[in-house]
Amino acid sequence: MEMIQLLQGALIGSIGGTLAGLLGVGGGFIMVPLLVMIMGLGQQMAQGISLLVIVPTSIVAIWRLHTSSLIDWSMVMVMAVGSILGAAISSNFVQYIDSKLLTKIFGFCVILVGLKMYFDARKNEQKNSAEK
């Protein structure tokens, strides 16, 4: 691996880790596009790297959130069952999906979730200001 790739990877990891700790996300929503756009990786490779990077990132964030009593462990267990099942099924066929199509699907999902969050926040903001 060349020095420029090491620096790019460290920068992408730092951005993903910062957002993971700040926003409670795995960082994949930013790491995957950056790995594809900046480093030129295929979508499947970028997703694989992002998923593996989530492990140490999550351990650090989980510890900090746990010490602040910000984790509902019963909800974690329920969600983990579905998450493990979904990952086990989808990881068996992701390599058969065209990388460009997978990138479009990923981008569409990010936009859809972003729009939903934006409009929900705006709605709550308007509701709060009307209550004052």
96 DSSP assignment: G
Tokens of residue 110, six digits:
């990010």
Distance CA 50, CA 55 (A): 9
| pTM for this entry | 0.75
- Encoded amino acid at 51, one letter: L
Going by the DSSP 8-state scheme, the letter that residue 91 receives in this structure is T
Q: What angle do CA 81, 42, 45 make, to 5 degrees?
A: 40
User: Which residue in this structure is represented by tokens 């990881």?
Assistant: 91
pLDDT tens-place string over residues 57-79: 888 888 999 999 999 999 999 99
Q: pLDDT digits over 4-50, tens only? A: 999 999 999 998 888 877 877 767 888 999 999 999 999 999 999 99
Mean pLDDT of 104-130: 91
